Chain A
């Protein structure tokens, strides 16, 4: 009987979704950051999730039931080219009068943010239920 593993699993999900929310916040915050060259323009970041199969731990635990938590395998930068905008009056404009804006799609980021916050609250629900069950298990035989 091991409910405590659920805390690890859902905890890893919470941390992964937090990282996702962080990158989204950074993308949205930098959506309007102009730069002089296309290379210097901010690139949108996206976390890559990966499953971690936990080892079948300890005696009494039979094989074949690997519980799986999540980890961030890495954060990739978007390869979408920066958007050139002709703004000769801009202080950062190059000799041709262009500034370069990051290719961040705000609507896409907002949708991603909602998805991340939904997943986050899912895991919180799982944690709450598990906590209640554990507390009830501890009360066993007292009633």
Chain B
């Protein structure tokens, strides 16, 4: 992405990425609600986003040759492992998914995703207005 859109959209593209990865994990949890031995996982949204904004602020080392080793985990990717959720009540078959809780977190995360989308949308329309010069 060019620097102008990077600067205009700010943290919201990263927030969108974190939210979408988190949605994926939560969908996995809900899908495996009846699988024996499955352990529910989740991402720490705040920690990942903090990390993303710090990455953005810090100077990046660029790789100019094929032999260079990339400093970021992947191109534009966010590091950070999925953590295991602490179960409220243990189930006999070792499954730690609490469907109600997962639904609540999923819904909350869907709203976060939509919020990020709305932010990006309004920034884009702002840019468009500026370009048109009306």
Contact = CB atoms under 8 A, between A and B. Distances in A.
Given A126-B30, A137-B117, A70 B35 contact: yes
A143 interface: yes
Contact of B30 (A13, A115, A136): A13
Nearest to B28: A68
Contacts of A65: 21, 24-25, 43, 81-82
Chain B contact patch, size range: 35 or more
A65 B24 CA distance: 9
Interface stretch (B55-63, B84-92, B120-128): B120-128
Contact of A2 (B20, B36, B110): B20
A61 B76 CA distance: 9
Contacts of B120: 140-141
Contacts, number: 118
Contact of A1 (B16, B34, B43, B110): B16
Contacts of A85: none
Contact of A61 (B35, B77, B99): B77
Contact of B27 (A1, A115, A119, A126): A126
Nearest to B73: A62
Interface residues of A, number: 44
Interface in A20-73: 20, 48-51, 59-70
B23 A6 contact: yes
6 contacts: A2-B20, A10-B27, A10-B30, A12-B31, A116-B34, A126-B27
Interface of A: 1-3, 5-6, 9-10, 12-13, 16-17, 20, 48-51, 59-70, 115-116, 118-119, 122-123, 125-126, 129-130, 133, 136-137, 140-141, 143
Given A67-B28, A118-B99, 19 more contacts: A6-B23, A10-B31, A16-B34, A17-B34, A49-B35, A51-B35, A51-B38, A61-B74, A66-B82, A67-B25, A67-B27, A68-B28, A69-B31, A122-B33, A137-B117, A140-B121, A141-B120, A143-B121, A143-B125
Q: List the 7 closest A-B pairs by CB distance, nearest first.
A: A13-B31, A62-B77, A49-B35, A68-B28, A62-B73, A64-B81, A6-B27
